[in-house]
Chains A and B, each alone.
Chain A
Amino acid sequence: GDSVTQMEGPVTLSEEAFLTINCTYTATGYPSLFWYVQYPGEGLQLLLKATKADDKGSNKGFEATYRKETTSFHLEKGSVQVSDSAVYFCALSDSGGSQGNLIFGKGTKLSVKP
């Protein structure tokens, strides 16, 4: 079945460092890909998404490019801030319609130190 694999954390960085969180997927169809962020004690918020190959999703300085050839959707940010400390989830949807039936990776905890 479909699955998502993302790098294990925790990841600890200093403020203004470069961030990469790797995410690869397996899917039988043509999935949409997502990054969600979960701040402490909160629910998940959609960070960015891409619905087809070579699309780049971006938001709040974060970017991810849908790479069909490598089945990847790595999350990057050029300069992280303390406020970016959270758990990041990569997810895919292959439902062909509503994107609520998502398959999630296990999450990567990011801690940014001042």
Chain B
Amino acid sequence: NAGVMQNPRHLVRRRGQEARLRCSPMKGHSHVYWYRQLPEEGLKFMVYLQKENIIDESGMPKERFSAEFPKEGPSILRIQQVVRGDSAAYFCASSPPLRGALNTEAFFGQGTRLTVV
């Protein structure tokens, strides 16, 4: 059972370009979460998605950032017109559907390290 797969592992973009980060959740998982880790910082929650729905985007910057989790295919985090401050590691996590009141664990991918030059 493959884990959470993120690609690419490393991404270099020039200022003003677009960055597209992909996340394939574990098999059977319908919840996806994106986090950003700035250098020497902890992880900051960005967005929580279920298939075709954004559940919580309270951590997403208001401009240039968007996320989707279509019915088919991976979840995509898109950053338009990247700036140097977007350089960070972006982690995706997934969890299975809720089972009543039973809490479920989230599993993390290895991350995409974005460098904006």
Contacts and interface: CB of A to CB of B under 8 A. Distances in A.
B108 A45 contact: yes
Interface of B: 4, 6, 31-33, 35, 40-45, 48, 56, 91, 93-95, 98, 101, 103-111
A104 B103 contact: no
B106 A99 contact: yes
Interface string A23-53: 0000000001000100000111110010100
- Interface size bracket, A side: 20 to 34
A100 B41 CA distance: 19
Given A32-B103, A99-B103, A100-B48, A106 B42 contact: yes
B43 A100 contact: no
A114 B69 CA distance: 46
Given A97-B101, A98-B106, A100-B106, 18 more contacts: A43-B6, A43-B111, A44-B91, A44-B93, A44-B108, A45-B108, A51-B103, A89-B43, A97-B103, A97-B104, A98-B104, A99-B95, A100-B94, A102-B45, A102-B106, A103-B45, A104-B35, A107-B42
Interface string A78-114: 0000000000010001000111111111110000000
